[in-house]
Amino acid sequence: MDKPSLEQYAAEIYTCNRTRCGFCVADCPVYRVKGLEGYASRGKMMIARGLLEGLIEPSEEVEELVEDCLLCGYCQARCALNNLDIFTLLRQRMVEEDLCAPEHREKTVKILEEGHLFQRPSPVRREGTVPLYLGCLYQSRSVEVKTIISVLKRCGIDPLVADEVCCGYIVEATGFRQEFETIQERFAETYDPYADKEILTLCPTCTITLKEQYGLNVKHAIVAVADRIETLSPRQLDLKATYHDPCHLGRMLGIFEEPRTILEALGVELLEMDQNRVFSTCCGGGGGLADTSPELSLEIAKNRIRDALKAGVENVVTVCPTCVPTLLKGASRLANEVGVFVDVLDLWDLLDQALD
């Protein structure tokens, strides 16, 4: 089968250029900081048309506009077009022209050579009955994994953690298509013993990648907990908070109500931010942006914390290994400006507190 190309999306690109509705622009997290349309979906569609027609050539300026994107899917939620596919192809076009951020290339090389993205001080392995894929971030955070496994055991789930290699999301997302194919082959070979089973996952990004790129039967572990929470009689927490929907978990996997069901069962008073569920805005850590534009990523995180303050809370709960540290960094920096620190809490930690 032919690999997808920008030309195959010409009709969608021209549809955007003709209609210019602008639904994608106003609340785009990057546009909210930059204020220039080239950073929003509509602007990138104009760039795609220019490349198709030969009106513009690949350049460092085009590369910056293409890479300063979270691939968060907010614009796609506002649109009928396949924006994310087009933006990924734009990045592939830049890589083909040897125009790419060195940070992205270094990560790709590391995954190809070592099989994982982050250092693993003590690789996690566990005998059990239910396959649990941790992913690179959690494999580097053994203390957090111990907490999560403890919670799952208290929910009656016996996790099995086997040998893992990186799913390769960041490689494909940053435009390295050929390298991603190599990583896919290695992943399939390593995780083949569990390919016919239901696999629990922890990282939302790994979850969507294993589902869409590998065709595996995956279930995010928080859904498995939500299925059991009413039978566990958890301790009630004295907490008022808002819930931040991670982009991959919420908008792309449709897992909105399960985390809220758990928070309700824990007695948390939940107040919603204006942008929630399918229209939740990104924490600032998606699409490799934090590697190439850390200050932009930080400003996006600060804006999300501002959304929480607007909702009248000083606690944000989420369930993503990228969202938690990214939002905490934004909260710490924003506290210097507004005099209020908004704490960012991991739902797994709250479960650990509430379950006997």
- Condensed to tens digits (0 to 9), the pLDDT of residues 141-189 reads 999 999 999 999 999 999 999 999 999 999 999 999 999 999 999 999 9
Residue 249 has pLDDT above 50, yes or no: yes
Residue 121 is predicted with a pLDDT of 78
Residue type at position 255: I
The mean per-residue pLDDT over the stretch 72-94 comes to 95
Confidence of residue 123 (pLDDT cuts 50, 70, 90): confident
Spatial separation of the C-alpha atoms in residues 34 and 23, rounded to whole Å: 17
Q: In what order do the strands lie in the sheet with 269-270?
A: 269-270, 240-243, 315-318, 343-346
Per the listing, tokens 């930059």 go with 34
- Domains of the chain by range and CATH? 6-100 (no CATH), 130-225 (3.40.50), 234-354 (3.40.50.1860)
Residue 1 has pLDDT above 60, yes or no: no
Tokens of 83: 């924006």
The mean per-residue pLDDT over the stretch 57-81 comes to 95
Angle, CA of 93, 97 and 99, to the nearest 5°: 90
Decide if 46 contacts 25 (C-beta within 8 A). no
Average pLDDT over the chain, rounded to whole? 96
The mean per-residue pLDDT over the stretch 188-205 comes to 96
Decide if 134 contacts 145 (C-beta within 8 A). yes
Residue 2 has pLDDT above 80, yes or no: no
Kindly give, in sequence order, each residue whose CB lies less than 8 Å from that of residue 130, ignoring residues fewer than 6 positions away. 157, 158, 159, 160, 198, 200
The mean per-residue pLDDT over the stretch 65-71 comes to 96
The mean per-residue pLDDT over the stretch 123-136 comes to 95
Spatial separation of the C-alpha atoms in residues 245 and 259, rounded to whole Å: 9
Q: What is the pLDDT of residues 312-355, one digit of tens each?
A: 999 999 999 999 999 999 999 999 999 999 999 999 999 999 99
